[in-house]
Amino acid sequence: MKRSILTVDDDASSLDLVADFLKSQQFEVIPADTGEKALELFDKRGPELSILDINLPGLSGLDVLKQIKQRDPKHPVIILSAAAELETAVSAMKIGASEYLLKPVNLEALKLAIEKAFAESLLINTLTHLVNTKEQEFRQGAVIGESLAMSDVMASVHMVAASPAVTVIVTGESGTGKEVIARAIHYFSPQKGKAFLEFNCTAVPETLMESELFGHERGAFTDAKTRKQGLLELADGGTFFLDEIGDMPLSLQAKLLRVIEERNFRRVGGLQNISVNLRIIAATNADLPVLVDQGKFRADLYYRLNVISIHMPPLRERGEDIRQLANHFLDYFNRTYRRDLKGFSTDALHLLNTYPWPGNVRELRNAVERAVMICNTGLITPRDLNIDRRGSNRDAPAISTIRGGHVVDLPEAGVPLEQIEREVIVRALEKCEWNVCKTARFLHLSRQTLRYRMAKFGFAANESEELS
């Protein structure tokens, strides 16, 4: 199906020239010789792009541009003008024009402008779709839980999201879902269409941390061959999530404090201040007041971050949420691994509700994922979950480090070799966060061999993870 373009020009020869060129490029042309006619056709035909002459009788090109943008802010518009007036060009671009070209029209330049406008429109629509999808995920229950504890958390999330608060700290044990809460704040806020960037303070070496956060100028250090924007700069206008803030080096804590207080910073090796307007959400499973007393965390930064605090309760305090969470993960992994498991057996549900979940929601998620992959019946059983009340694995060979020349402690009753192989692969995948390349290296296998063995046991490879 041809893409449609509205062309508006009171000069018949110019209008015909552009129309003939567009037809040769396989576009459907919707011609108009006045601004009023252009708006009528815009409403009636819904073109995908508009090309407007700036000097039109009656309603001017700029007026038409304004009204088009009021109807559809994302609609791409290219402005044409015989007069090289800088002020007019600036006005058109401020209103939202994609490009400004001089007449007589250079057809090659027009072709490039059309390609650019369509590419930008596709990018905007894609980003809008992603933002709406993420927002819907949260509105439809990505933050799962109806317990009183989670009701209090979500009330705080909505309050913070609607407020102008620029710093928030989320506390809680590892695996409770602090990142999910940070994302919820972002997607419920007016900044939901802007960037959400995250940085884990334990995942980056201290020597690289400053450059990752603040960026660097060319020549700032030996390997700085080009200028690099830091994550704080890239998150401008949106939300920046700092995970495990308690592990941030003291030297960088001082620089982060300046960003919070002054809303600006300098790249490594830079001389200019870079201003940013963003919300910073920090998260930690550490007791920051204790770290302050020990001199490992700056008191002034702690007080600056702790203006608004949200505490994530451990899963053992959210008993009424466990079944809902388990069913949510079951639905998700059924789709991910193309399984059709119907639910949990009565014994499995009892185990889910009585197990203490020391790893919190993350441990529950991993347990359900593993169960979905290995379950051979329609219902997940306690054996599939592979947990017991003491928190130890059950009915599986013990995988340990190499001691005395062996890796596996074999049970007295014996065990099928395939069960050991499957268990080793599952443990290695979990250790490597289901990254196939990393797991293959960990097991000293080729990626193809690991993929074959995963397929043998019904494990689905995550293609995106393989490329990382």
Residue 172's closest CA among 72, 243, 79?
243
Hey, which CATH number is domain 144-313, 3.40.50.200, 2.40.30.30, 3.40.50.300, 3.40.50.620? 3.40.50.300
d(CA 360, CA 313): 9
Give the torsion sign (CA, 169, 202, 255, 286): positive
CATH topology of domain 4-124: Rossmann fold (3.40.50)
Can you give the residue ranges of every domain in the chain? 4-124, 144-313, 314-395, 397-468
d(CA 33, CA 15): 8
Residue type at 6 in one-letter notation: L
Do domains 4-124 and 144-313 share one topology? The answer is yes
pLDDT tens digits, one per residue of 113-169 = 898 888 887 777 766 666 556 555 554 446 788 888 898 999 999 999 999 888 999
Which residues fall within 8 angstroms of residue 7, CB to CB, at 6 or more apart? 15, 18, 19, 22, 29, 30, 31, 32, 50, 51
Strand order in the sheet with 28-32: 28-32, 4-8, 49-53, 77-81, 99-102
How many CB atoms are located within 10 Å of the residue 203 CB?
12
Lookup result for tokens 């939202």: 96
CATH homologous superfamily for the domain 397-468: Homeodomain-like (1.10.10.60)
| SS3 call for 42 | helix
Give 438 or 419, the one with higher predicted confidence: 438
Tokens of 423: 């268990």
pLDDT tens digits, one per residue of 174-209 = 899 999 999 999 988 988 888 899 999 988 888 889
DSSP structure string for 399-425:
EEEEETTEEEE--TT---HHHHHHHHH
pLDDT on residue 401: 46
- For 66-155, strand residue ranges (E) read 77-81, 99-102
Q: What is the CA radius of gyration of the chain?
A: 29
Residue 232's closest CA among 256, 206, 257, 200?
256
Q: Cα–Cα distances in Å, from 253 out to 233, 264, 290?
A: 17, 14, 16
Say yes or no to pLDDT of 343 above 80: yes
pLDDT on residue 252: 93
d(CA 395, CA 4): 64
Instruction: Report yes or no on whether pTM surpasses 0.75.
Output: no
pLDDT tens digits, one per residue of 364-411 = 999 999 999 999 888 999 989 988 544 444 444 555 544 444 555 565
d(CA 388, CA 390): 5
Q: Cα–Cα distances in Å, from 125 out to 74, 93, 138, 242, 452?
A: 8, 20, 20, 28, 39
Residue type at 264 in one-letter notation: N
d(CA 281, CA 163): 13
Q: 314-395: what CATH class?
A: mainly alpha
Q: Of all residues in the chain, what percent carry a pLDDT higher than 90?
A: 43
Would you place residue 414 in the very low, low, confident or very high pLDDT band (cuts 50, 70, 90)?
Answer: low
Omega into 289 within 30° of 0, i.e. cis? no
d(CA 202, CA 271): 29
